[in-house]
A and B are shown apart, each in its own frame.
Chain A
Amino acid sequence: MAGEEFSATVKRTEKGSVIELVGTVNRVAKEGMEAAYVEASRSAGEILLDFNGVDYINSTGIAVIVGVLAMARAEQRPVGAFGLTDHYKEVFEITRLADFMHIYEDTASVN
């Protein structure tokens, strides 16, 4: 269906890696998200999820993010997120995802 595309691209930074997410984060994003995490985790440091390009996250997408947090926890890797809209920041608060990943206020505050 249109609007269901998802991509995850890994970029290296001085502090670690950024996974640029684009499109819809739902069940379909699982494979791409996990592959991106594996690639990002080859470098040391924090892994940041960039949500600037994400237009929709549903409960199955939250499950995908929980999966990433589980992978990160297994290797004691810090995970953060930025680029979330106010609504999804609130969703991350309600679901307590924000307890397990640092939510940056905006893109500028990452650096």
Chain B
Amino acid sequence: MFLRKRAREGNEPSDATTASEPVSQTRALDPIEIPRGDVLETVLLSAGGPVELSTIDVESETIERLREVGIELVIPLIGQGELLGALYLGHRLSDQPYSTDDRRLLGNLASQVAPAMKVAQLVREQQTEAKERERIEQELKVAALIQQTLLPKELPSINGWNVDAFYRPARAVGGDFYDFIELDDHRLGVVIGDVTDKGVPAALVMATSRSMLRAAALQYNSPSEVLAAVNENLVPEIPPAMFVTCLYAIIDTESGEVVFANAGHNLPYVRTSEGVLELRATGMPLGLMPGMAYDERTHMLGAGDVMVLTSDGITEAHSPEGEMYGFSRLMGRVAKKTRDEDICNSLVGDLESWTGPGAEQEDDVTLVVIRRTTSASASADAFHTGEEALIEFTVASVEGNERVAIDKVSEAVGPLGFEGSRLEKLKTAVGETVMNAIEHGNDNNPELDVSIKVAVTPQRVTVRIVDNGGDKEIPDAATPDLEAKIAGEQTPRGWGLFLVEKMVDEVSTARENGHHIVELVMNREGEA
């Protein structure tokens, strides 16, 4: 008696063929498979029970082989309409033909064995799938670890600029990356890229590309030369059918000039006061073929301009109806100003509402947002000769941020030991000046920052507050006519400049390069 299991996918070991006859009469036979679609399969499935080979009047290679090795009776093992295997029986030892009882017994045996075989088969398949899932999960963890290890841990902190980034890997971990490279004291290299493919292979190519970019960025001053050099180095290293899209830009943080080259990556958007524009430069993705040249373009970022770099995980995300997020929606979203101007948050929130709740992220989502808050000329002469810098910071032009400025200045001058009432006066003057800068200088535009610097000499403390309203006159601090205000003949407002003048020892104002500069001076004479 032989038990032959149905042929399976892959190279699983076959079940042992078993002979129940006395040792002297057993023969070791090679397993005989019943190929899918063999006529014997059809015969056995339609019979549903034991079939004598001699009664089959159709021929197949399998039937022929069974006859050759002396098989007389085939008992199919059928589960859920599927042929799971078959028992092959040769001559009876008694040389008698198989009786009706024999066939019934064997049929009953087969009907009990088949379900158990089916269960065993399913368990084995599940175990195999579970092992494969575990292997994939482990691989994804490694890929995610590689990526996250290589992404910047901190964002650049540059006076007059606000840099933000967002990265969220897909479950399958794509090959997105971004990087900031400090080239010198006023030039910042910015990289955003995407490796085709996912998982560990993409992560390894990402790591290689990032290293090559860093090395080339320090060697060449031109973004097009950097991309060309990386391409040459990457072509022999990258696996077949993989490539890297990448945009590389060098930002001059003093002048606002952006020089960039693009190797097939999403175009960056720049939002200005007049709308949103695309920064176009052409070039083939990295790693495809040697000898590539890359366009190099230049753009000037003015105060308040925002540059947004993205990966295709945003533009190629789908709605539940299958519609892509697309470039026009992204462009529209970049154009939309929000009160807190958290563009990363705003874009990611919009993307999530587009893909719908609980949707699995299809690809990595990467965003880099670079905002020029003030021009460098306002901060270049931050401190006069002989002054010691105590603190230098900016606040966005949002009502209420004057309290943030007050707290920071107060904390900075605290150790100088100002007498309590003098400190309170300085705080009030700072609050009023910053409030004026937010409301009048920057027109409550949250894209524009107010720059605040505190400097000290042995004689005095100077708080320098700079906004972008240099095209407007600063009115004189006239003494308000309180009687007229209470009588309703004048607006009750108009106390800010008057208060500032009364609170500090000196106030000076200037307009320079499009900026208002207000200096509040508090003498230290007599202070502890």
Interface residues of A (CB under 8 A from B): 1, 3-4, 56, 58-60, 62-64, 66-67, 69-70, 73, 85-87, 90-91, 94-97, 99-100
In the assembled complex, the Cα of A86 lies from the Cα of B495 at a distance in Å of 19
B402:A58 contact, CB within 8 angstroms: yes
In the assembled complex, the Cα of A96 lies from the Cα of B483 at a distance in Å of 10
B493:A4 contact, CB within 8 angstroms: no
Interface flag for B186 (CB, 8 Å): no
B486:A87 contact, CB within 8 angstroms: no
In the assembled complex, the Cα of A59 lies from the Cα of B429 at a distance in Å of 10
A66:B403 contact, CB within 8 angstroms: no
> Which residues of the other chain, A, contact B401 by a CB distance below 8 angstroms?
1
**Apart from A1-B398, A59-B435, A91-B428, 4 more pairs, CB < 8 Å:** A1-B400, A60-B435, A87-B424, A94-B502
In the assembled complex, the Cα of A3 lies from the Cα of B192 at a distance in Å of 39
Contact of A95 among B400, B421, B495 (CB under 8 A): B495
B398:A100 contact, CB within 8 angstroms: no
B400 nearest CB neighbor, chain A only: A1
In the assembled complex, the Cα of A90 lies from the Cα of B420 at a distance in Å of 13
Interface flag for B496 (CB, 8 Å): yes
Contact of A73 among B398, B421, B480, B486 (CB under 8 A): B486
Interface flag for B322 (CB, 8 Å): no
B495:A70 contact, CB within 8 angstroms: no
> Which residues of the other chain, B, contact A3 by a CB distance below 8 angstroms?
400, 403
A95:B403 contact, CB within 8 angstroms: no
| Contact A87 B492, CB 8 Å, known A1-B399, A73-B487 | no
Contact of A1 among B403, B435, B485, B498 (CB under 8 A): B403
Min CB–CB distance A31 → chain B (angstroms): 14
Interface flag for B499 (CB, 8 Å): yes
A96:B482 contact, CB within 8 angstroms: yes
> Which residues of the other chain, A, contact B488 by a CB distance below 8 angstroms?
70
Contact of B486 among A4, A86, A94, A100 (CB under 8 A): A100
Q: Mask for B414-447, Cβ within 8 A of A = 1, else 0?
A: 0000000100110010011001000000000000
A56:B403 contact, CB within 8 angstroms: yes
B482:A100 contact, CB within 8 angstroms: yes
Q: Mask for B474-492, Cβ within 8 A of A = 1, else 0?
A: 0000001010011110011
Min CB–CB distance A67 → chain B (angstroms): 5
Min CB–CB distance B428 → chain A (angstroms): 7
B407 nearest CB neighbor, chain A only: A3
| Contact A70 B487, CB 8 Å, known A87-B428, A90-B421 | yes
A59:B493 contact, CB within 8 angstroms: yes
A59:B398 contact, CB within 8 angstroms: no
Min CB–CB distance B346 → chain A (angstroms): 19
| Contact A95 B399, CB 8 Å, known A59-B432, A70-B488 | no
> Which residues of the other chain, B, contact A87 by a CB distance below 8 angstroms?
421, 424-425, 428
A4 nearest CB neighbor, chain B only: B400
B499:A66 contact, CB within 8 angstroms: no
Q: List 9 A-B contacts (CB under 8 A).
A: A58-B431, A63-B493, A63-B494, A67-B492, A70-B488, A86-B421, A95-B480, A95-B499, A96-B482
> Which residues of the other chain, B, contact A66 by a CB distance below 8 angstroms?
482, 485-486, 492
> Which residues of the other chain, A, contact B431 by a CB distance below 8 angstroms?
56, 58
